[in-house]
Structure 1
Amino acid sequence: MSGPTALITGGTSGIGKATAVLLHERGYRVAVTGQRAEGAARAREELPGDVLVLQADVRRLAAIDQAVAEVGARFGRLTTLFLNAGVSRPMTLETFDEADYDEVFAVNTKGQFYTLAKALPLLSDGASVIVTVGIGATRSLTGNSVTAGSHGAFLGMIPTLAHELAPRRIRINAVSPGFTDTPMTRASLRRMSDDAAAAMTAIAAQNPFGRLAEPEDIAKTVAYLASDDAAYVTGQEILVAGGAGLAV
């Protein structure tokens, strides 16, 4: 079968799931991965029936290999790879946890890099790779230093990766959401606040647009970067944050 195809890691909820829905609506054949069995099972019920849903822990190279093999068997090739799998573990110099630190880098840096490397043979010439980073990689967010560092490490790779991939006209760009109303955001805030709902309301009030991003806001930017409209865009980071972080 011809037509656009997409693999979305971290695609069983939040931004990844919204992107899967949008790309499917636009005629893509879509595969998504999720770390947890319960999340994958829920996604199979909620996403369109022809979306391939795989459980894959990107911390494990064998799991990445298996997922890529299944996607290759189903689609043959990929025109879009959305590296969206990520975790957030708020911590400070006083509250750090070694296991959480290692997990953050294993998912957000190592997992993203190796998924790209393993999926490279499936990427068609002219394909698009999009990486979720987040504005915290370049802006101060309380308790976010480790998560920011893990995303920032991959962000720092993107200009060089863009050059490596350019001979095949494969583009790689980052999308950096601001605070977005997702299950991961809510879980992260619960680690930092006794009232996550109140914290979200306060964050929304501070945004120039007066609201948090919705997953669909980010999905539309990903869809643009995946499309031929962005055929000459590579090595860039696009912030989707409603103006957050602009004020001095």
Structure 2
Amino acid sequence: MSRTMDGKIAVVTGGSTGIGLATARAFAQAGARVFITGRRQAELDAAVADIGASATGIRADSASLADLERVFATVKSEAGRVDALFANAGGGSFLPLGAITEEQYEDTFDRNVKGVIFTVQAALPLLGQGSSVIVTGSNTGIMGTPAFSVYSATKAAVRNLVRSWILDLKGRGIRVNTVSPGPIRTPGLVGLVGQDAAAQQGLLDYLADQIPLGRVGDPEEVAKVVLFLASSDASFINGAEIFVDGGLAQV
């Protein structure tokens, strides 16, 4: 892999599994020192072991402002700056209109919107000229998806945050972009239908049938796009949304 991140400091929230882990691994392989966050210590420890010596794990919930303050205090103390921030932590669940609960609404918006806002804001003092922020959106943000309206609304919100933030940051040399995956083979995706292996495979088969490329994606395919956006190769890309979904949102 090209060493496009040599000497860089990267932070990945939700970095212990799935797209976050694949991206943290890609950052490290490209030469970055990587700080990853996650809510579960065992998975966080396993991710750090997977990535290697250039990774540091910090247990944190991105919806907790106190946790975020601690994360970026640690980064400041140990590295002094942030060159690339991947605000990736989040998640959702299926509930159709008529069954949506206050608990689901609050959990989903806290994780996907509140968490993103305050992650980026907490990192802001450490971001300088030439730094890059990448936010995880979703192709559901521009599509209708049955029983997934709350999650989809959070991703539509995130997309507009990025559009607005590039105006707030005008002149500071900080780029902010959105990467919007489609169905990606991750624990978070298959976990939407529980732990039954047959149900999980049924979901993957159903989704693959909807995608013009005829398959679901792998986390590494998203990671490569995030790595590009984080690097100087994307130095004039700002406020953009890049879909990594096999063409699903384009038809």
| Structure-2-length-normalised TM-score | 0.93
Match of 2:133 among 123, 129, 135: 129
What secondary structure is seen at the aligned counterpart in 1 of 2:10?
A: strand
1:72 aligns with 2:76: yes
- Percent of aligned positions that are identical: 35
1:202 aligns with 2:206: yes
Aligned residue for 1:39? 43
Aligned residue for 1:84? 88
1:188 aligns with 2:197: no
Cα distance in 2 for residues equivalent to 1:7 and 1:68: 9
Aligned residue for 1:166? 170
1:227 aligns with 2:235: no
Shift of 1:46: 2.1
- Residue-pair matches, total: 246
What secondary structure is seen at the aligned counterpart in 2 of 1:245?
A: helix
Cα distance in 2 for residues equivalent to 1:104 and 1:205: 27
Give the conservation status (yes or no) of the 8 Å contact 1:193–1:199.
no
Aligned residue for 1:139? 143
Amino acid at match of 1:118: A
Gap change, CA 1:78 and 1:187, over 3 Å in 2: same
Gap change, CA 1:194 and 1:141, over 3 Å in 2: farther
Aligned residue for 1:153? 157
Gap change, CA 1:96 and 1:82, over 3 Å in 2: same
What secondary structure is seen at the aligned counterpart in 1 of 2:83?
A: strand
Shift of 1:206: 2.4
Indicate the RMSD between aligned Cα atoms, in angstroms. 1.7
What secondary structure is seen at the aligned counterpart in 2 of 1:187?
A: helix
After TM superposition, which residue ranges in structure 1, 4 or more long, deviate above 3 angstroms?
A: 191-194
Can you list the C-alpha shifts for 1:27-55, whole angstroms capped at 9, x where unaligned? 01111101222321222332213301111
Aligned residue for 1:10? 14
Aligned residue for 1:26? 30
Give the conservation status (yes or no) of the 8 Å contact 1:89–1:101.
no
| Structure-1-length-normalised TM-score | 0.95
Which segment drifts farther, 136-145 or 169-178?
136-145
Give the conservation status (yes or no) of the 8 Å contact 1:175–1:222.
yes
Amino acid at match of 1:29: R
Q: Structure 1 stretches of 5 or more lacking a match?
A: none
What secondary structure is seen at the aligned counterpart in 2 of 1:167?
A: coil
